[in-house]
């Protein structure tokens, strides 16, 4: 089960899990993008389902999990809480509505969807809860204040839930990428009046490896963390940052 499954990273994760033989449900609020993703990933596959959900609404989250269990024929084994929205710009200029939206989706939406998913995961086979963090889960960055706060919250959830759910057999980990070229990134950059191409080139040059991770890099990490190869990994924020957290990032 993947929330935010219609976007670039969510869609890539769905494809990689399908390639690994998983039965996949993608969810999103954008019905047009959800249908596009469903068609691209293989609408005729009996391993793929698409469901609409607003993760900021607990009742919809619970309904999503119940529908997913019906699609999958049993409890969830893997849940990736990926849905999120960006924030960029000065906090001095931010509107209340914008601030509330970021916190409601990135923090409350993750909590509500994870809560509903965990009620199913505890009955799964080697269950795994994955939360999407960010480089801003462990670092600060100017003009990203509210987004940084929301992604620091994800790091806290990963740590606390790994301790809480470990006795139930559920592993909990986060995936924390640096800049990845997606519509999400372009929206964040354009919100502050910058050029997306120029921003990507600047970011790549600032990273020790000199390259920007892509959606497939994220998806491969998700599949690894859900696999038996990661059976003893829990409570971790797995960085996909091309070396940014080693100390070099502009």
CA distance to 1, 222, 226, per residue, from 78 (Å): 6, 10, 7
Mean pLDDT of 161-166: 98
- The CA distance from 127 to 192, in Å, is 40
pLDDT exceeds cutoff 80 at 225:
yes
pLDDT exceeds cutoff 60 at 187:
yes
Tens digit of pLDDT for each residue in 102-128? 999 999 999 999 999 999 999 999 999
Largest CA distance in the chain: 49
- The CA distance from 35 to 22, in Å, is 20
Quote the pLDDT of residue 136: 94
Closest C-alpha to 169, from 129, 131, 130, 126: 126
Q: Is residue 42 part of a domain?
A: no
CATH number, position 91: 3.40.50.720
pLDDT exceeds cutoff 60 at 184:
yes
Quote the pLDDT of residue 198: 84
Q: Is residue 38 part of a domain?
A: no
User: For the chain, how are helix, strand and coil distributed in percent, rounded to 5?
Assistant: 55, 15, 35
Binning pLDDT at 50, 70 and 90, where does residue 223 land?
Answer: very high
pLDDT exceeds cutoff 80 at 193:
no
Q: Is residue 32 part of a domain?
A: no
- The CA distance from 231 to 240, in Å, is 20
User: What stretch of H or E contains 152?
Assistant: helix 145-165
Mean pLDDT of 208-231: 96
Q: Is residue 82 part of a domain?
A: yes
- Which residue's entry shows tokens 């921003």? 199
- Give the total number of structural domains in the chain: 1
pTM equals: 0.94
Domain that holds residue 107: 49-245
């Amino acid at each position: 089960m993947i929330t935010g499954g219609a976007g670039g990273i969510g869609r890539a994760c769905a494809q990689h899990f399908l390639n690994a033989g998983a039965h996949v449900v993608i969810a999103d609020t954008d019905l047009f993008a959800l249908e596009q993703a469903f068609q691209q990933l293989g609408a005729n596959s009996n391993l793929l389902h698409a469901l609409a959900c607003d993760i900021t609404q607990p009742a919809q989250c619970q309904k999503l999990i119940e529908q997913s269990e019906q699609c999958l024929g049993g409890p969830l084994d893997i849940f990736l809480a990926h849905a999120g929205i960006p924030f960029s710009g000065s906090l001095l200029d931010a509107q209340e509505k914008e601030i509330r939206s970021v916190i409601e989706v990135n923090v409350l939406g993750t909590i509500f969807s994870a809560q509903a998913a965990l009620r199913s995961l505890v009955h799964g086979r080697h269950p795994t809860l994955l939360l999407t963090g960010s480089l801003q889960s462990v670092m600060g960055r100017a003009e990203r204040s509210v987004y940084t706060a929301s992604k620091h919250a994800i790091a806290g959830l990963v740590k606390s839930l790994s301790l809480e759910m470990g006795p139930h057999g559920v592993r909990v980990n986060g995936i924390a990428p640096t800049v990845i070229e997606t519509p999400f990134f372009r929206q964040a950059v354009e919100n502050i009046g910058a050029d997306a191409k120029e921003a990507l080139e600047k970011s790549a040059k600032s990273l020790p490896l000199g390259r920007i991770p892509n959606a497939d890099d994220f998806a491969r990490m998700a599949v690894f963390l859900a696999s038996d190869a990661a059976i003893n990994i829990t409570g971790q924020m797995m960085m996909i940052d091309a070396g940014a957290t080693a100390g070099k990032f502009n």
